[in-house]
Structure 1
Amino acid sequence: MCSPIRRTANFGVPWEKAYGYVQAVRVKGIIYISGQLSHDIAGNLVAPAKLDPAGRPVDFSNMEEQMRQTYANAVAVLAEFGASLDDVVEETLYVLDVDAAFAAAGKVRKEMYGAEVPACASNLIGVSRLAFPEQLIEVTFRAIAPCVSLCGV
């Protein structure tokens, strides 16, 4: 039987400590991944949206690039648990513009999952704001950890 021991993973980006959270936690074989966004290893946003004087994005043309980096970050977090996108059973995309996200998601998700129809449940939810004003998308994931990484079997 697999161990129920809780294990966490972080990137070491400044907002983890400021907000007080982990990027992911594995409990009883389930990996819960916090909202991922389009930052690089140093914590700089990749393809940040241009903002108007009120601090709102003026266009959503960077959605695809932000989405691709967001999924790449999820891949890195999953790897900490010996998992991959193949182990994802559910994802939720929180976006500022549903139309732009829907257009980008078909291409990016198929590319990242390596499948015409990725084998995971998916939700796309429009929101009014995300953690950073330049951010257009945030994605949470739930995955089933491979037993190899849990049990050493």
Structure 2
Amino acid sequence: MSLAAKPIAKRVENFGLPWESAYGYGQAVQVGNVIFVSGQLSHDESGKLVAPAPIDAAGKILDATNMELQMQTAYANAARLLHRFGAALDNVVEETLYVLDVDAAFAVAGKVRKAAYGTDRPSCASTIVGTTRLAFPEQLIEISFTALLPTSP
């Protein structure tokens, strides 16, 4: 008796950025009514980092003053992806923020999150995780999301 995995239907969306092919992943994947959004970061439509953190010759972050703009841009990129599935940030049920500087993130997260979700009490679970490194040396934050589409009655 074979236990081969039965394929599931997936819908994948990408931005067409170089690192999607280099690393080999989808920016967002829908299975049923669930949308899994890969870690979003601060980049424009061409893949250029927005508000890169200043780094020294060794690649060490010198300060995290660009945290707010990087966080805003990451939420905006997530919203652009979700829109492709007919969803919005309001459909998000869980998010995880990966940050290099937890204090800098906490200083701006409330304001940025409330603006992104359009409410003083975003109705999603949220976790913030401090880490020592992200994909790009100038990157201060990356945010992953899980969103749900309404099910048919």
Pairwise CA distance, 1:146: 3.4
Alpha carbons 1:90, 1:142 under 8 Å: kept: yes
Select 1:84's aligned residue among 60, 72, 88. Answer: 88
Alpha carbons 1:83, 1:146 under 8 Å: kept: no
Task: Indicate whether 1:48 and 2:72 are aligned.
Answer: no
| Secondary structure of the structure 1 residue equivalent to 2:133 | coil
Corresponding pairs, count: 146
Q: Which residue of 2 aligns with 1:65?
A: 69
Q: Which residue of 2 aligns with 1:125?
A: 129
Letter in 1 for 2:10: R
Poorly superposed stretches of 4+, deviation over 2 Å: none
Q: Which residue of 2 aligns with 1:14?
A: 18
Pairwise CA distance, 1:145: 1.7
1:103 and 1:17 mapped to 2: Cα distance? 34
Task: Indicate whether 1:94 and 2:67 are aligned.
Answer: no
Letter in 2 for 1:103: A
Select 1:139's aligned residue among 121, 139, 143. Answer: 143
CA shift digits 1:58-77 (9 cap, x unpaired): 00000000000000000000
2:77 and 2:13 mapped to 1: Cα distance? 12
2:50 and 2:150 mapped to 1: Cα distance? 30
Q: Which ranges in structure 1 are unaligned for 5 or more consecutive residues?
A: none
TM-score, length-scaled by structure 1:
0.92
Q: CA RMSD in A?
A: 1.2
| Secondary structure of the structure 2 residue equivalent to 1:64 | helix
CA shift digits 1:105-135 (9 cap, x unpaired): 1110000001111000000000000000000
2:113 and 2:65 mapped to 1: Cα distance? 17
- Aligned sequence identity (%): 62
TM-score, length-scaled by structure 2:
0.92
